[in-house]
């Protein structure tokens, strides 16, 4: 299996607090991996380190062999990692289609002069980007909202738009931060199907943080478990399900 | 300039600087307290200082009060003004976007300045000489008794503030609200009352500074608060905005730097020096000398 | 022909009509010098307002030192004509480029600050510029630079304003413009979507500063003198008020705010203190009750003046 992302003994220290300690993880091409753990375990912090929002205090992160540490988020996205956020971070006052068009920005070639004077590549590339955006929205059944302001969308649709927008950056690895938050079982099930389908259709790998165990167990091929910043277990879903340490972490010592 | 006279000029400017710095510190305290509690840069704070000076003027000329009662009068009047401003202009903006609140503050500032021009005319007023100035000559260094007065009063007020903040219930509540307003509310603290108190305290200190300046420089005018206000704000940022000892430290540093620039270079660039300090601080250490760098949780 | 091109041509046509009307009135002396002065002042303020809107409204950065760029444009343009005896066209180019360059140099380090801190930094920088000018004898120091020939005519002012509005409108409806909007909406998300936020913030800042410089050249070459007292924080505040009153993020709003406030200023010219008191009260009341200003971030779309420039050919509200 071809290695895509390698997280090597990475730690994140905020003042006196070790949010993440000595975390090691690999993701191979095409895999669907889960990152779970109780609240405050450091999962989002780990995501933030992977995407360049935080610069790891210790350790090294490499993507396709290239070092990620210290890169800015937009550079990490250019390398091929895209993410969604735990609390939706859409461009609320902009239209749905603009949200997606912005994510295609990396692929736009025309210069500032061409943009302002509206000659050369401007019209062609704008049309191409609009077409691509509409195609993507169609896939996520959001095309009928395309001119609607993002903040006016129902919650479930907003979450789908976040994912669509991330996919517009044409990533190799998609990081989903609690994609099922706030969803009912029916929506969660649809989300599961969608994640599997995305992986196949867009030929990418997925890393997801999630609390909903049905989603995690149903969709992930491998799982890492964090608690208080430490990785306490990793392996196949069945192994994790029966791992004493994991059960303790979630339910407390007495239960096991 | 030889070593001897350099040392003398240096010491002289140091004395002037500490005096000036005490004024900046008093004003800076208000900025830092208000920012600490509601994360607002109160642009109008410099104009409270001006208001205090005018209150002092009214107290000594029209009410015939002597120094200390006039000072207290000005402080109380400014405290009330601060409470009113907070109530009318800032409280309705609690949940508004940052830019809107900042614009409101700028609006209040201009309103106070030009309102005062309309009421009191733009002509400078002369403060009556209620404190005879004795000039001490100390190995060639000139120390004005009024400078000593400024320093003493400032220290007394700062000590008083420190006591209130660290050793009273109100002070504890103020610190709690500045840490986490929602948690404080859940603990039963009346946020609105605490915020009003903070404005009152900060404003009264600024007013004291205004009266002291009126006594020392003898002249007050409606626009006197603009520059000192800005410089005091820079002082608060320099020391670490939201941190009370920081405001005191920042104020003194700003005063000394300004005196040095004035004495050794030129007085026209005096104001620019303060802004340069601001830019340097914001670029290299935005949390200030005593501040801590807090990362935003994403 | 492309629907966008059709819109643009229609708008240009409408502008030409408006220009012809006013120019004729001026030529025929139906409206006199008082009107010419105020019309040109309105146009200059429109440029300032629209360029500040690019920075504050579209990109969400809090810049309150715009008068500094106005000053740099005015003075450098004046140096070109008065000190170097070169043509007005060159003054316009030089003034714009110098302000843009300054905007770039200032923007690069300061735009990583956010919110309140950026505001204070820009305020401070505006003041530093003014104080420096005050101390430079070559440009007249505290007395100002005098004897600037009146090269600014209604024609120059009008068409430059139209040009700048078009440039900014086109910028907004293009990829770099969308990046600026994204930065305003959610800077962290924008970074994560592959946008180099610093680059675009500096870009918007530089363009905005440059156009303020253009306004400065026009200003100096109408009023015969460039004086430091014209470029104080109060001037920056005036421009900010225009943008905020009209609605941050709305071009129509910026233009409307500029027109309205210049008119009010003209009416209250005799009573500058009352003007300031009314301004500040208006601002306070506005912020408390309708912080989004007159137009919010929406554009007005009349049949003739399609200022929004929608890409899909829709004539209604665009962003």
Q: What is the pLDDT of residues C64-84, one digit of tens each?
A: 999 999 999 999 999 999 999
Q: Using an 8 Å Cβ cutoff, are B244 and C93 in contact?
A: no
Given this model, what pLDDT does residue A255 score? 47
Whether residue B70 is contained in a domain is answered as yes
Question: Cβ separation of A91 and C190 shorter than 8 Å?
Answer: yes
Burial (CB count within 10 angstroms: exposed 0-12, middle 13-18, buried 19+), residue B233: buried
Question: Cβ separation of A115 and C170 shorter than 8 Å?
Answer: yes
**Confidence tier at C318 by pLDDT (50, 70, 90):** very low
β-partners of residue C145 are C226
The class that CATH gives domain A3-80+171-251 is: alpha beta
Does pLDDT of B282 surpass 90?
no
Does pLDDT of B25 surpass 80?
yes
Give the mean pLDDT of chain C.
88
Report the alpha-carbon distance of residue A60 to residue A81 in Å, rounded. 16
Range of the domain at B218: 20-128+137-223
How is residue B11 written in tokens? 């010491």
β B125-126/A205-209 pair status = unpaired
Whether residue B184 is contained in a domain is answered as yes
Share of chain C above pLDDT 70, in %: 93
Question: Cβ separation of A89 and C177 shorter than 8 Å?
Answer: no
Does pLDDT of A254 surpass 90?
no
**Of C301 and C226, the one with more pLDDT:** C226
Radius of gyration of chain C from its Cα atoms, rounded to whole angstroms: 19
In the DSSP assignment, the letter for residue B127 is P
Question: Which residues in B lie closer than 8 A to residue C109 (C-beta atoms)?
Answer: 283
Question: Cβ separation of C116 and B97 shorter than 8 Å?
Answer: no
Given this model, what pLDDT does residue C1 score? 52
**For residues B136-160, average pLDDT:** 86
CA distance C88 to chain B (A): 32
Report the alpha-carbon distance of residue A141 to residue A194 in Å, rounded. 12
**Contact residues for C289 (Cβ-Cβ < 8 A; gap 6+):** none
β-partners of residue A225 are A36, A233
How is residue A16 written in tokens? 């006196």
| Interchain CB contact of A54 with C (< 8 Å) | no
Whether residue B86 is contained in a domain is answered as yes
Question: Which residues in B lie closer than 8 A to residue A40 (C-beta atoms)?
Answer: none
Report the alpha-carbon distance of residue A145 to residue A124 in Å, rounded. 24
Does pLDDT of A183 surpass 50?
yes
Q: H or E stretch including C145?
A: none
In the DSSP assignment, the letter for residue B65 is -
Burial (CB count within 10 angstroms: exposed 0-12, middle 13-18, buried 19+), residue B140: exposed
The number of CA neighbours under 13 Å toward the Cβ of B241 is 23
**For residues C233-243, average pLDDT:** 91
Q: Which of C228, C233, C258, C239 is nearest to C71 (CA)?
A: C228
Q: Which of A23, A62, A68 is nearest to A42 (CA)?
A: A23
Given this model, what pLDDT does residue B142 score? 81
Contacts 24+ apart (CB under 8 A), A184-193: A185/A214, A187/A156, A188/A212, A188/A214, A188/A215, A191/A215, A192/A218, A192/A219
Does pLDDT of A109 surpass 80?
yes
| Interchain CB contact of A77 with C (< 8 Å) | yes
| Interchain CB contact of A115 with C (< 8 Å) | yes
CA distance C192 to chain A (A): 5
**Contact residues for C135 (Cβ-Cβ < 8 A; gap 6+):** B268, B269, C141
Whether residue B152 is contained in a domain is answered as yes
Residue C65: count other Cβ atoms within 10 Å of its Cβ: 29
Whether residue B9 is contained in a domain is answered as no
**For residues A85-108, average pLDDT:** 91
Please state the separation of Cα C212 from the chain's center in Å.
Answer: 5
Give chain B's domain count. 1
pLDDT tens readout for residues B39-88: 888 989 999 999 999 999 999 888 888 888 999 999 999 999 999 999 99
Three-state secondary structure call for residue B6: helix
Residue A217: count other Cβ atoms within 10 Å of its Cβ: 16
- Contact partners for chain B, using 3 or more CB pairs closer than 8 A, are A, C
Q: Which of C135, C129, C138 is nearest to C83 (CA)?
A: C138
**Confidence tier at A241 by pLDDT (50, 70, 90):** confident
Helices of type H across chain A:
43-50, 73-79, 96-103, 112-117, 122-139, 155-168, 185-201, 213-219, 237-241, 244-251
Q: Which of A179, A58, B272 is nearest to C129 (CA)?
A: B272
**Confidence tier at C309 by pLDDT (50, 70, 90):** very low
Report the alpha-carbon distance of residue A86 to residue B161 in Å, rounded. 43
Q: Phi and psi (nearest 5°) for B64?
A: 60, 30
């Amino acid at each position: 299996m071809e290695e895509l992302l390698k997280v090597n003994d990475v730690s994140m220290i905020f003042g006196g607090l070790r949010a993440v300690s000595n975390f090691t993880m690999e993701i191979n091409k095409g895999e669907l991996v889960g990152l779970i753990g109780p609240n405050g375990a450091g999962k989002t912090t780990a995501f933030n380190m992977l995407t360049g929002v935080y610069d790891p205090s210790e350790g090294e992160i490499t993507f396709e062999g290239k070092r990620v540490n210290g890169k800015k988020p937009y550079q990490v996205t250019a390398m091929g990692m895209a993410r969604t956020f735990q609390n939706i971070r859409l461009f609320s006052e902009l239209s749905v289609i603009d949200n997606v068009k912005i994510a295609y920005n990396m692929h736009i070639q025309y210069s500032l002069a061409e943009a302002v004077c509206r000659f050369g590549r401007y019209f062609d590339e704008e049309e191409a980007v609009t077409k691509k955006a509409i195609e993507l929205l169609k896939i996520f059944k959001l095309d009928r909202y395309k001119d609607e302001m993002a903040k006016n969308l129902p919650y479930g649709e907003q979450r789908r738009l976040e994912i669509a927008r991330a996919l517009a950056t044409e990533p190799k690895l998609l990081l989903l931060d609690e994609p099922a938050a706030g969803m009912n079982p029916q929506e969660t099930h649809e989300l599961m199907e969608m994640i599997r389908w995305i992986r196949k259709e867009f030929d990418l790998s997925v890393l997801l943080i999630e609390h909903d165990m049905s989603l995690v167990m149903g969709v992930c091929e491998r799982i890492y478990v964090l608690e208080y910043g430490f990785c306490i277990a990793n392996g196949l879903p069945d192994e994790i399900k029966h791992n004493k340490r994991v059960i303790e972490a979630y339910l407390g010592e007495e239960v096991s | 300039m030889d070593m001897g006279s350099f040392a003398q000029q240096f010491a002289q400017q140091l004395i002037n600087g500490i005096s000036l710095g005490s004024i900046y510190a008093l004003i800076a305290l208000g900025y830092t307290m208000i920012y600490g509690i509601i994360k607002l840069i109160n642009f109008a704070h410099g104009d409270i200082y001006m208001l205090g000076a005018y209150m002092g003027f009214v107290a000594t000329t029209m009410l015939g009060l002597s120094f200390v009662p006039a000072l207290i009068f000005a402080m109380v009047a400014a405290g009330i003004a601060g409470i009113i401003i907070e109530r009318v202009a800032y409280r309705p903006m609690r949940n508004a976007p940052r830019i809107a609140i900042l614009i409101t503050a700028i609006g209040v500032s201009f309103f106070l300045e030009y309102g005062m021009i309309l009421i009191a005319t733009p002509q400078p007023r002369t403060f009556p000489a209620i404190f005879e100035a004795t000039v001490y000559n100390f190995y060639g260094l000139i120390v004005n008794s009024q400078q000593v007065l400024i320093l003493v009063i400032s220290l007394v007020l700062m000590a008083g503030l420190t006591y209130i903040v660290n050793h009273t219930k109100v002070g504890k509540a103020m610190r709690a609200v500045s840490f986490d307003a929602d948690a404080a509310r859940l603990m039963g603290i009346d946020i609105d009352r605490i915020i009003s108190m903070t404005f009152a305290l900060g404003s009264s200190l600024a007013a004291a500074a205004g009266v002291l300046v009126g006594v020392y420089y003898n002249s007050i005018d409606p626009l006197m608060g603009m520059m000192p206000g800005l410089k005091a704000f820079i002082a608060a940022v320099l020391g670490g905005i939201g941190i009370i000892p920081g405001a005191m430290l920042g104020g003194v540093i700003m005063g000394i730097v300004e005196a040095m620039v004035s004495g050794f270079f030129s007085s026209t660039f005096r104001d620019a020096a303060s802004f340069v300090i601001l830019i340097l601080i914001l670029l290299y250490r935005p949390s200030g000398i005593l501040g801590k760098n807090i990362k935003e949780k994403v | 022909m492309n629907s966008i091109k059709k819109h643009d041509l229609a708008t240009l046509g409408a502008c030409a009509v408006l220009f012809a009307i006013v120019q004729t009135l001026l030529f025929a002396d139906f409206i006199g010098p008082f009107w010419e002065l105020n019309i040109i002042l309105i146009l200059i303020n429109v440029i300032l307002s629209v360029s500040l809107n690019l920075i504050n409204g579209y990109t969400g950065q809090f810049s309150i030192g715009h008068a500094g760029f106005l000053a740099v444009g005015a003075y450098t343009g004046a140096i070109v004509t008065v000190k170097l005896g070169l043509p007005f066209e060159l003054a316009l180019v030089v003034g714009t480029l110098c302000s843009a360059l300054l905007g770039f140099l200032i923007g690069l380090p300061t735009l990583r600050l956010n919110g309140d801190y950026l505001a204070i930094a820009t305020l401070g920088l505006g003041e530093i510029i003014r104080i420096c000018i005050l101390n430079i004898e070559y440009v007249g120091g505290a007395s100002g630079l005098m004897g600037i020939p009146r090269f600014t005519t209604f024609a120059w002012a009008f068409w430059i304003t139209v040009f700048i509005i078009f440039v900014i409108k086109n910028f907004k409806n293009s990829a770099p413009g969308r990046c600026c909007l994204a930065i305003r909406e959610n800077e962290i998300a924008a970074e994560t979507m592959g946008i180099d936020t610093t680059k675009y913030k500096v870009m918007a800042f530089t363009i905005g500063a440059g156009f303020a410089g253009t306004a400065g050249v026009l200003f100096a070459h109408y009023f015969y003198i460039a004086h430091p007292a014209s470029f104080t924080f109060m001037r920056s505040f005036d421009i900010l008020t225009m943008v905020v009153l009209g609605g941050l993020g709305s071009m129509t709003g910026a233009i409307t705010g500029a027109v309205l406030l210049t008119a009010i200023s003209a009416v209250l010219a005799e009573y500058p203190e009352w003007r300031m008191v009314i301004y500040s009260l208006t601002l306070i009341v506005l912020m408390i009750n309708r912080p989004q200003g007159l137009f919010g971030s929406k554009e007005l779309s009349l049949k003739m003046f399609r200022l929004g420039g929608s890409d899909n050919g829709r004539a209604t509200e665009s962003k």
